[in-house]
Amino acid sequence: MQDKVLEINHMKKRFGDLTVLEDISLSVKKGEVVSVIGPSGSGKSTLLRCATMLEWMDGGELIYLGERAAYEENGKCVYASKTELKKIHKHFGLVFQNFNLFPHYTVLKNIIDAPVSVDKVPKQEAKERAITLLKQLGLENKMDCYPHQLSGGQQQRVSIARALALQPQILFFDEPTSALDPELTGEVLKVIRELAKQHMTMIIVTHEMQFARELSDRIIFMEQGIIQQQGTPEEIFTAPNARVKEFIGKFAG
């Protein structure tokens, strides 16, 4: 049971009349790297936003490390109490497409402020943790910079450090390189690759097919709010079903 970090059962999400997530079930084991691919509007980002509780789902079940964040009862989605959700929140981190760093904080403060003011980690300890992370990500000399002084790739690496500083059990990436030019994409992908080597559990929504292929343990192809196909990169890229083949073909172009 405990080796399942995340379990999603029959997740549904509507925006008004539009059903964005039809019925999504998926579970992620500790240390697993799962990539989610699919065309725009397929519900990939909504899946991530529901899993991280930035959006409330309309039905289904959401479980982190055996703790139930939401379940369905009489056709309605019921969320756990505020205190329980707060605890569950600590299990995951999210890296946004456009970083969302806090512009008025230095790089260091961006990373240590949540551990210090949310998790009550002693400041010195949080600082040491942050510096270790920054060294890992090759940013130790940017500690006192403000986000606007950094390149997009550096900003994204800082935002990864910010998420990691809270020591989550699973890290979500919402198209982490889509706001970056190709030159800067590499440095961010390299960091994610490093994390995979350290067996960080990750779910990555991405358009980087080659990257997904080499890095993932499992790839999920989503379209129209359902999982069309999932499997190892091998299965997806060598034996795709007709629709997946068409999609991947466009990238291979």
Binding-site ranges for other proteins (CB under 8 A): 52, 54, 86, 89-90, 92-94, 96, 98, 100-104, 113-114, 117-119, 146-148, 159, 162-163, 166
Q: Report the nearest approach of other proteins to the CB of residue 246 (Å).
A: 33
The DSSP call for residue 43 is: S
213/215 Cα distance (integer angstroms): 6
Helix, strand, coil distribution of the chain in percent, nearest 5: 40, 30, 30
Using CA atoms, how far apart are residues 253 and 250, in angstroms rounded to an integer?
5
94 vs 222 by CB, closer to other proteins: 94
Instruction: In angstroms, give the least distance from the CB of 250 to other proteins.
Output: 29
Nearer CB in complex with other proteins: 90/213: 90
Nearer Cβ to other proteins (192/227): 192
Q: Are 196 and 33 in contact (CB under 8 A)?
A: yes
Q: By the 8 A CB rule, do 43 and 222 touch?
A: yes
CB 97 within 8 A of CB 178: yes
Nearer to other proteins, 16 or 103 (CB): 103
Taking the least distance from each CB to other proteins, the nearer of 163 and 189 is 163
In the bound complex, what is the minimum distance in angstroms from residue 176's beta carbon to other proteins? 14
What is the spatial distance between Cα 10 and Cα 62, in angstroms, rounded to a whole number? 9
Cβ of residue 49: shortest distance to other proteins, in angstroms? 9
CB of residue 44 to other proteins, shortest distance in Å: 17
Question: How would you list the strands of the sheet with 170-174, edge to edge?
Answer: 92-95, 170-174, 201-205, 33-37, 218-223, 226-231
Minimal distance in Å, beta carbon 104 to other proteins?
A: 5
Min CB(149)–other proteins separation in Å: 9
Kindly tell me which of 52 and 224 has the beta carbon lying closer to other proteins: 52
Q: Is the dihedral of CA 235, 230, 96, 15 positive or negative?
A: positive
Is the CB of 94 or the CB of 137 nearer to other proteins?
Answer: 94
* CA geometry: angle 100, 106, 109, nearest 5 deg: 85
